[in-house]
Amino acid sequence: MIRIDSVKKTFGKTEVLKDISIDIEDGEIFGIIGQSGAGKSTLLRCINGLESYDGGLITVNKNPVHIDDKKNLRRIQKKMGMIFQGFNLLERLDVYQNVALPMKFWGIPTNTPEAKEKILKLISLVGLEEKVHAKPRELSGGQKQRVAIARALVLNPEILLCDEATSALDPEITKGILALLQKINKEMGITIVVVTHQMEVVKQICQRVAFLSQGKVLAVGKPEQLFVWPKEREIRDFLREESDKLPSTGVNLKLFFFGEGNQRPIVTQMSQELHTDFNICWAKLEDFREDVYGSLVLNMDEKDLERACAFLDSKDVTWEVIPR
Amino acid sequence: MSGILSNTGMHAIIWKAFTQTLYMVFWSTFFSVIIGFIPAIILTLTAPDGLKPNKIVYEILSFIVNVFRSFPFIILLVILIPFTRMVVGKSIGTTASIVPLTVSAIPYIARVFETSLRETNPGVIEAARSFGASNFQILMRVYVKESIPRMLNGIVLLVISLVGYSAMAGTVGGGGVGDIAIRYGYQQYKTDYLIVCSIILIIFVQLIQMLGNHMYKKMS
């Protein structure tokens, strides 16, 4: 378990992290999302001891992360693999040697049959059996990130940290990498912490997510709780939600559909039952892991609002009046 | 003098000069690469983006390197005479000229190596740190390993400029192809010497460059 307790950090006069507290449970895929400059990468680097922090405490499995205690830090780092936006492979080493590199740092022999078997197993886990002796420059971006993932797993870590790992990849390749991360989480039981500014990443794999804004945690929870019905202004802005495109006359009512709610003809039923027409002015369907979440904005006369709300309550549909 | 007689003389003279050039260039490259590697490593470590940033050490060492680099070689040659005598026991001759050639090459190669090492992708260094690599491991397994082709390019440049500098070594009796070109070709108006020496140097430099390019491709 990673416990981040009131962590503070400043660069010169800028406060990058202001009193951040997050608990990340064993075995989960946890997302840290926010605009660039929100401090999310800095936070991840603090967890790994690549960066020091000025206040509070980070512990990994109850072991405090302090950059000055080199010996202890190394021990913690061994338990944490890390992958990066820029892949960061050694250009002069081939795939096999890149994957084996962390073992060399730990003085683990890499030419024993067991070591060879392990390295080749990881390479085939990430699907690069054909490229064992290729150099990074012969690989595509997605393949490079796969090598980096295999490298991050070679010391048998309990935690995998991903720093914008898919930001340099196109959507199709990103999906493949995310599926691989999910597989690693499920089959190997590795806790994964994902730092990203891409909603797609959070929606596709994260079980829980923290939204960071200007060095503070704005909200923590399941992605569908945070993003289908965002209450915080910053999160709405981040999602570039409907707010500025809606009609300025009448009332705007937002409806939410979870799971089976998606299969019911609620709007047409409501229209028939209340004998009124509604203007559908905005709608969205989103996948969160395996589930689909929908939201829909109706524009109507003020006088119809009360009846509409009563109807929606009777059908167990969640709704909200969008404030102007 | 008949043409044939002077030609056989020319062969012997130029061949001897060529072996002298090879001798001077090889050993001064050898020593300067080994010695220059040390300040290069210190500069890389203490640079602002290094593993152990230290402004004072970096600036002082950098200043010393610049001082030695700004000396005109011919001056260095003269200033170093006592030092040369201390090292090789004499201040004149081919072996003696290796000393000033090496001294002038050390700061050059130190700077070239520093630049090569610091071009290492900072992300790769960060990745190594994230796996718990020690600074020494990062230095050897990441910085040096990744920079070898670039450093090799630097050595090729060094060899080529040492061929040029070795011509001046004639001043302290170093001999060499360049020295023959100056003394026979220029001072005694023997144009054939000048031409042959120049062609030899051109071919030599071309060969070194081709070999360097080939090795760069193979190693990167």
Model confidence at A278, in pLDDT bands (50, 70, 90)? confident
Percent of chain A having pLDDT more than 90?
59
Model confidence at A271, in pLDDT bands (50, 70, 90)? confident
User: Within 13 A of B162's CA, how many CA atoms are on the CB side?
Assistant: 34
Residues 9-48 of B with CB under 8 A from A: none
- Gap between the Cα atoms of B207 and A280, Å rounded: 76
Mean pLDDT lowest for which of A146-155, B2-11, B125-134?
B2-11
Phi and psi angles of residue A106, each rounded to the nearest 5 degrees, phi first:
-100, 10
B51 contact A CB<8A: no
- The alpha carbon of residue A221 and the mean position of all alpha carbons in its chain are separated, in whole angstroms, by 12
Do residues A84 and B126 lie in contact, with contact meaning Cβ atoms separated by under 8 Å?
yes
- Gap between the Cα atoms of B28 and B96, Å rounded: 11
Cα distances (Å, whole numbers) of residue A38 to A35, A161, A258? 6, 18, 30
pLDDT, position A241: 64
Do residues B160 and B205 lie in contact, with contact meaning Cβ atoms separated by under 8 Å?
yes
For the cut 90, the answer to whether the pLDDT of residue A233 exceeds it is: no
Tell me the one-letter amino acid at A173.
I
pLDDT, position B59: 97
Do residues A35 and A213 lie in contact, with contact meaning Cβ atoms separated by under 8 Å?
yes
- Gap between the Cα atoms of B95 and B65, Å rounded: 24
Residues of chain A with C-beta less than 8 angstroms from the C-beta of B148: 92
Percent of chain B having pLDDT more than 90?
63
pLDDT, position B1: 42
Cα distances (Å, whole numbers) of residue B16 to B8, B9, B90, B97, B168? 13, 11, 21, 16, 17
pLDDT, position A243: 56
Q: How many residues in total does chain B contain?
A: 220
Residues of chain B with C-beta less than 8 angstroms from the C-beta of A87: 123
- Return mean pLDDT, chain B: 90
pLDDT, position A285: 81
More confident: A84 or A276: A84
- Gap between the Cα atoms of A32 and A39, Å rounded: 10
Mean pLDDT lowest for which of A110-114, A212-216, B175-179?
B175-179
More confident: A323 or B103: B103
Residues of chain A with C-beta less than 8 angstroms from the C-beta of B121: 86, 88, 91
pTM of the entire predicted model: 0.85
Q: How close does chain B come to A105, measured CA to CA in Å? A: 5
pLDDT, position B8: 65
Residues 127-186 of B with CB under 8 A from A: 127-134, 137, 141-142, 145-146, 148-149
B52 contact A CB<8A: no
The secondary structure of A179-204 as a DSSP string is HHHHHHHHHH--EEEEEES-HHHHHH
What residue in B sits closest to A72 (Cα-Cα)? Answer: B132
pLDDT, position A85: 94
Mean pLDDT lowest for which of A16-20, A102-106, A252-256, B113-117?
A252-256
B121 contact A CB<8A: yes
Tell me: the pLDDT tens digits for A22-61? 999 999 999 999 888 889 999 999 999 999 999 999 999 9
Percent of chain A having pLDDT more than 70?
97
pLDDT, position A242: 56
Model confidence at B12, in pLDDT bands (50, 70, 90)? confident
- B121 to A88: CB separation less than 8 angstroms, yes or no: yes
- Gap between the Cα atoms of A197 and B34, Å rounded: 48
Mean pLDDT lowest for which of A196-205, A206-215, A279-288?
A279-288
More confident: B190 or A4: A4
- A91 to B129: CB separation less than 8 angstroms, yes or no: no
Tell me: the pLDDT tens digits for B186-207? 888 888 888 888 899 899 999 9
Q: How is residue B55 written in tokens?
A: 């402004």
Rounded to two decimals, the ipTM of the complex is 0.82
Of the residues A105, A108, A144, the best mutation for testing chain B's interface (the one with the most B CB atoms within 10 Å of its CB) is A105
Residues 6+ apart with CB under 8 A from A54: A8, A9, A10
Phi and psi angles of residue B52, each rounded to the nearest 5 degrees, phi first:
-130, 70
Residues 6+ apart with CB under 8 A from B98: B24, B27, B28, B31, B88
For the cut 70, the answer to whether the pLDDT of residue B6 exceeds it is: no
Mean pLDDT lowest for which of A161-165, A265-269, B20-24, B33-37?
A265-269
- B132 to A78: CB separation less than 8 angstroms, yes or no: yes
